[in-house]
Each structure stands twice: as C-alpha cells, then as structure tokens.
Amino acid sequence: MSFSDLKKQSKLGSLTSKLVKEVEKMNNTGGGNGDDRLWKPEVDKTGNGFAVIRFLPSPEGEDIPWAKMYSHAFQGPGGWYIENSLTTTGGKDPVSEYNRELWNSGNESDKDTVRKQKRKLSYYANIYVVKDPTNPQNEGGVFLYKFGKKIFDKVMESMQPAFEDEEPINPFDFWKGANFKLKIRKVDGYWNYDKSEFDSVSVLFDDDEALEEVYAKQYPLLEFTATTNFKSYSELKTRLDTVLSGTVSANSTVETLMEDEPTAPPVVNTKEEQLTLSVNDDEEDSTSYFEKLAAEA
C-alpha cells in the first residue's frame, strides 16, 4: 500500500473496520498459531460439530502418511511450560525424567502432579476437506490436520478390524480409501469423537489428473520430527526449572523472574487445545507410560 493510499484509507476510516474484521476472523478460526495450513473442526453452540474429510497418502518422498508428536503443556509457579518432548524422537527429556522421580516417590500427590504434566500425544496428517458446513470455503482444500489418539485409534481399527466380517481398508488410499465422518459432541466439558466413523470404500475422484493435483498440494510431515522442531535438553531443563521454581539461576545467582514472564499459555486454537490437552484423548500415557517410568527407575 502506498503512502497516499494509506492516507486516503485513514480519512475514510476503512483501516479501522479492516482491522476489526481481521480480529474477528482470527477469533472465529482460533487464530494465534499463525499456521494457515492447519484445518480445525468447529462446533456449534450446543457443542456439536460435523465434517467430512479424507486422509491423504504419504507426501512425495516420505513413507508414512502421518507424523507422531509428544509435547507437554502445564503451568507452574514460574509460568507455562509448553514444549515439544524429546521423547518424540527417542531422546531423553527433562520433564519425563522429573515425572519418573515423582512417580517413584510413593506419594499419591506426586502422582497427581505427574498426571497433570504428562506427555500429550498428537498426530499430524494431510487431509482433503470434503464437507465443512461451518466453513464451506475450506471444502476442496488440502490441509494439515492435528488430531489425538482417539481418532488415530479409529484409523488403525479401519486397517486392522477386530471382527472377521469387517474388511480392512487403507484410509490413506486415493482409490480404495474412505471418507471420514468427523462427529463431535461435548462430553464432560471435552470434545468427544466416539461417534466418528469411516464411510464405505470409494475413490476420492475418478480422475487421475484431479488426484495428482491434490497429491501435489500436500505438505511435508517429516518437519514435525526434524531436530529443528525441538529445543536442546539443556534449554528444556532451564525452562522446566524456571517454571517449577519461579526463579532463574544464572552463574549461581538466583534472580527473580521478570514481571513480563508469561503467566498464561499463548493464545492458540482453543478448540484444538481441548483435543490435545483433554485427559480423555490421551489415555495412552495415563497408565502404560507411567508404568514404564517406574520400570526404568
């Protein structure tokens, strides 16, 4: 925008209305994470939501059509700890080590603390949006979709059905996959996906050119587990110590946290956080993971 145009819009008052519209758009789409590659389901005032998506094949040059990520999100005296966990790539993580110590203390209150700061399990996959009643402009688009263990279990069940009368499918296949009907209900304050299900097997498009166009629009997934997506052990340990103690140790001198230290998590997609941080969606870590912690002591 040129200076003259800027001055003209200022006189007309259009800049203010434009900014207001942008803020409204950010609020309506859970803005704040700055990643317009991510598709996010939405619910109505009753807490119900519905959409139809199609999981897409592995991006070109990659072998797996999803990325698995562990992270931590909890609050302590020194603010919020919101970081990717090094256990994602098989490394040692300071929070996991600290949780192991607490879990083995034999103190039930310590175990409660561990449960509050356990790992959060998330997956990322490329999807094609077939139907999005709340945001129809997304229909026909290729996005990244972040989801939890409950939905991933449904994906695995489609590939490895429990009953002999059910045919296994590859939900990531263009030709022999199936659309996924995402059904959301609010149960005990959290989003519940139990009623979500795969439709019957069908080709996404009976047109190879259209399929190839969708394939070319996919986003790489390996970046989620790349080393650049994780802080070093020492950096995470410093942050953890700050969050737990509320002080920063530097050269053996303890300094009080600065007044602008965040005391609340950054504004992310609130609806997606309900999925990621929900106890109901992370049961994989609530028992088996803690048993592993005890065994490693």
CATH number at residue 138: 3.90.198.10
Are the beta carbons of 92 and 296 closer than 8 angstroms?
A: no
- Asked if residue 38 has pLDDT above 90, the reply is yes
Residue 29: the pLDDT is 40
Q: State the Cα–Cα distance between residues 257 and 248, nearest whole angstrom.
A: 6
* Residue with tokens 């009976």, as numbered in its chain: 206
DSSP state of 45: T
Residue 16 inside a domain? The answer is no
Q: What is the domain count for the chain?
A: 1
The C-alpha atoms of residue 121 and residue 291 are separated, in whole angstroms, by: 17
Asked if the structure places residue 235 within a domain, the reply is yes
- Tell me whether residue 290 is in a domain: yes
Tokens of 60: 């070109």
Tokens 């200076």 appear where?
A: 3
Q: What is the mean pLDDT of the chain?
A: 80
Q: What pLDDT, on the 0 to 100 scale, is given for residue 270?
A: 40
Residue 113: inside a domain: yes
- Tens-digit pLDDT profile for residues 96-131: 999 999 999 989 999 999 999 999 999 999 999 999
pTM for this model (two decimals): 0.73
* Residue 90 falls inside a structural domain: yes
State how far the Cα of 57 lies from the Cα of 25, in Å rounded to an integer.
Answer: 31
Number of continuous H segments (helices) and E segments (strands) in the chain: 10, 11
Q: Based on the number of CB atoms within 10 Å of its own CB, is 155 exposed (0-12), middle (13-18) or buried (19 or more)?
A: buried
pLDDT at 3: 45
Identify whether 153 is part of a domain: yes
Write down the pLDDT at residue 207: 94
Average pLDDT rounded to a whole number, residues 75-92: 95
Quick check: 27 and 177 in contact, CB under 8 A? no
DSSP 206: S
Measured distance between the N- and C-terminal CA atoms of the chain, rounded to whole angstroms: 61
On whether residue 25 sits in a domain, the answer given is no
By percentage, how much of the chain surpasses pLDDT 90? Answer: 66
Longest dimension (CA), the chain: 71
Range of the domain at 162: 31-296
Dump pLDDT digits (tens) for 159-194: 999 898 889 999 999 999 999 999 999 998 889 999
Residue carrying structure tokens 């995470």: 236
Q: What is the pLDDT of residue 170?
A: 95
* 249 or 114: which leads in pLDDT: 114
Q: Is the pLDDT of residue 260 over 50?
A: no
CA-CA distance, 31 to 89, in Å (whole number)? 28
Question: Residue 126: inside a domain, yes or no?
Answer: yes
